[in-house]
Structure 1
Amino acid sequence: MARKFLTFLGVAVPVLAGVTLWAAARHEARAEAEYPPEGQMLDIDGVRVHAVVMGNGPDLVLIHGASGSTRDMTFALAPALAERYRVIVIDRPGLGYTERLNTTGATITQQADLLAEAARRLGADRPLVLGHSYGGAVALAWAVHHPDRISGLVALSAASQVWDGSLPLFYHITSSRLGSLFVVPLITAFVPDRVVENAVEEVFEPQPEPEGYAEYFGPSLTLRRVSMRANAAQRSNLLEEIRTLQPRYGEIAVPTEIVHGTADTTVGLQIHSEKLVHQIPGAVLTRLPGIGHMAHHAAQAEVIAAIDRVAARAGLR
């Protein structure tokens, strides 16, 4: 019996692995066919970077959050801003169509380095920078490490402080070596896009998800193996990276606007922005009553107003 069982495993495991890899590749091919790159590809020191550029006016870089891509920003916010800004939206490493920097999780500082150089290559030497959620941490790293390559900062629902609590189980598994090798391909191969769509709906709460957002955002892009691995590694390292960056917020000297919804349960206002406003000299905090995590969709006018204030304070409007 033992010999038969081992023989069965010897046949079944390779077959299951082959089917999984085939299904995962098929899912990824469909995702990339349905949601191709929106913009242009740059070569930044051997790393392929995807950027979307639209509009005219002062340069403004928009940085998306975890599990996202340029599509989160180009759905509504970037087109609205393009009426009076030259908007640059860049995929962070491993997400959308920007390549991973490494397999250990590109740090927020490494990401800021890459995005700042990409912006420079696009002619934006000292842009305004807005970062949402995880992207807010990257924007803060940009302001700390590249003070001569930024004109103003908008931290939108930004992760900025050390918090209590352990890494969620999902990220603990998918960021591990075994999880990355075995679990991630299974998710890519067999988890339907609707699971991601449901998660997106939850992130928008208490506001409803905008009509047409899921179809535009491309949930299947999030389920690709490269994106899941990059996002998991980045998320698992974020707490310690913020612990290192946080003592340097006092060095940020550019005009800074902080915008945060009072009903944000993903990145809590009291944990993050209400502390950040006292750590950056001259920073101004705008609280959005009843607004959740996706303020750039739920309170777009208020977010644009904050950008305009930063631009005015920086002498760009």
Structure 2
Amino acid sequence: MQLAVKLLLFALVGIALFAAATAFFARRHEARANASFPPHGQLIEVDGVEVHAVVSGQGPDVVLIHGSSGNARDMTFRLAPLLAEKYRVIAFDRPGLGFTERVNDSGATITQQAELLSRAAVLLGAERPVVVGHSYGGAVALAWAVNQPDRVSALVPLAAASNPWTTPLDTLYQVTSHPVGSTLVVPMLTAFVPDGYVETAVARAFDPQSVPEGYSGHFGPALTLRRVSLRANAMQRANLLDEIEALHTRYGEIAVPTEIVHGDADDTVALSLHSANLANQIPGANLTVLPGIGHMLHHAVPEEIVQAVDRAAARAGLR
């Protein structure tokens, strides 16, 4: 009996020490990430939520919304500087990612995110911007156009997740979106997973293209591994399918000029399921298919995206 008690005490002490070490290394990793990749835009308060926005250029307003596991730095590496030559560009961090605060602990829906970012755009003087969204950010852009039709002048979905799919949720997101996994596993990922893991995952998203030189140093992979971002991203990904199932039947309500762009070598968001269907669901939408281009089309061929924005802006009477 005494031996069993001693073993139990040793186990409890070991668990406590491991938990303390995990918390220490997680805080250190997060502090290093925040110091290495601080906010490079401005922080504005929207209904009590702090939103990070990077504003550049002059001209008609264009909003850029990044995808999963990312932040506004993904948009400000190549695309935003090109657009800023003739537009006023606003690149947002989505809730819980980058330096925009989480809206709630259950995972902000694409509708809630669209509402928050549209209000932030208005505060920045962009009442009816051209809204550009990539991947998950494309779903937010679609929710913006459906639910905030008076706050958008044109829509440019880039490899946007738009229609229901049947493949299961990735195991990592199943674990990290679960209450137990969020509490126990997420801190360990922050504490012990190296930034190189994110860089490897990013490289897979670029296939068949390669990661541009200097991208990782600009993007800030360590920001993705912070506990708040891991939890927010996991919940958003876990909830996305149900949200798209509810939203996709309303795409016919979108009345603004829409220019859809998708690469035919995209293995992350399938062209045939998503953009090909989306082009038929939105009245008057144009679909541009980019041969041989993968999921990160805004890095592979940013000039093509600028041309799509030009077409959308011209159709909306902004140019």
TM-score w.r.t. length of structure 1: 0.99
Q: Counterpart of 2:144?
A: 142
Deviation at 1:4, TM superposition (A): 2.2
Deviation at 1:7, TM superposition (A): 1.1
Percent sequence identity is: 64
Question: Which structure 2 residues correspond to residues 209-288 of structure 1 after superposition, within 5 A?
Answer: 209-288=211-290
Within 1, Cα distance between the matches of 2:7 and 2:140? 51
Deviation at 1:213, TM superposition (A): 0.3
Secondary structure at 2:281 match in 1: coil
Q: Counterpart of 1:178?
A: 180
Q: State the Cα deviation string for residues 196-218 of structure 1 (Å, max 9, x = none).
A: 00000110000000001011100
Secondary structure at 1:100 match in 2: coil
2:121 is equivalent to residue 119 of structure 1? yes
Secondary structure at 1:131 match in 2: strand
Structure 1 spans left out of the alignment, 5+ residues: none
Question: Which structure 2 residues correspond to residues 17-36 of structure 1 after superposition, within 5 A?
Answer: 17-36=19-38
Give the counterpart letter for 1:72 in structure 2.
D
Deviation at 1:165, TM superposition (A): 1.4
Secondary structure at 1:51 match in 2: strand
Secondary structure at 1:301 match in 2: helix
Q: Counterpart of 1:199?
A: 201
- Of 53, 71, 74 in structure 1, the residue corresponding to residue 73 of structure 2 is 71
Q: Counterpart of 1:128?
A: 130
Q: State the Cα deviation string for residues 220-254 of structure 1 (Å, max 9, x = none).
A: 00000000000000000000000000010000000
- Of 60, 63, 70 in structure 2, the residue corresponding to residue 61 of structure 1 is 63
Deviation at 1:148, TM superposition (A): 0.6
Kindly tell me the number of residue pairs found equivalent between the two proteins.
317
- Of 286, 302, 317 in structure 2, the residue corresponding to residue 315 of structure 1 is 317
Within 2, Cα distance between the matches of 1:210 and 1:165? 30
Secondary structure at 1:277 match in 2: helix
Q: State the Cα deviation string for residues 153-198 of structure 1 (Å, max 9, x = none).
A: 0000000000011111100000000000000000000000001000
Structure 2 spans left out of the alignment, 5+ residues: none
Secondary structure at 1:278 match in 2: helix
Q: State the Cα deviation string for residues 131-163 of structure 1 (Å, max 9, x = none).
A: 000000000000000101100000000000000
- Of 287, 290, 293 in structure 2, the residue corresponding to residue 291 of structure 1 is 293
Within 2, Cα distance between the matches of 1:121 and 1:226? 25
Within 1, Cα distance between the matches of 2:4 and 2:218? 52
Deviation at 1:92, TM superposition (A): 0.3
Deviation at 1:2, TM superposition (A): 1.9
- After TM superposition, what 4+ stretches of structure 1 lie above 2 angstroms from structure 2? none
TM-score w.r.t. length of structure 2: 0.99
Give the counterpart letter for 1:215 in structure 2.
G
Within 1, Cα distance between the matches of 2:210 and 2:15? 43
Deviation at 1:99, TM superposition (A): 0.2
Q: Counterpart of 2:160?
A: 158
Within 2, Cα distance between the matches of 1:169 and 1:195? 16
Within 2, Cα distance between the matches of 1:6 and 1:73? 51
Within 2, Cα distance between the matches of 1:241 and 1:5? 48
Q: CA RMSD in A?
A: 0.5
Within 1, Cα distance between the matches of 2:191 and 2:283? 48
Give the counterpart letter for 1:125 in structure 2.
E
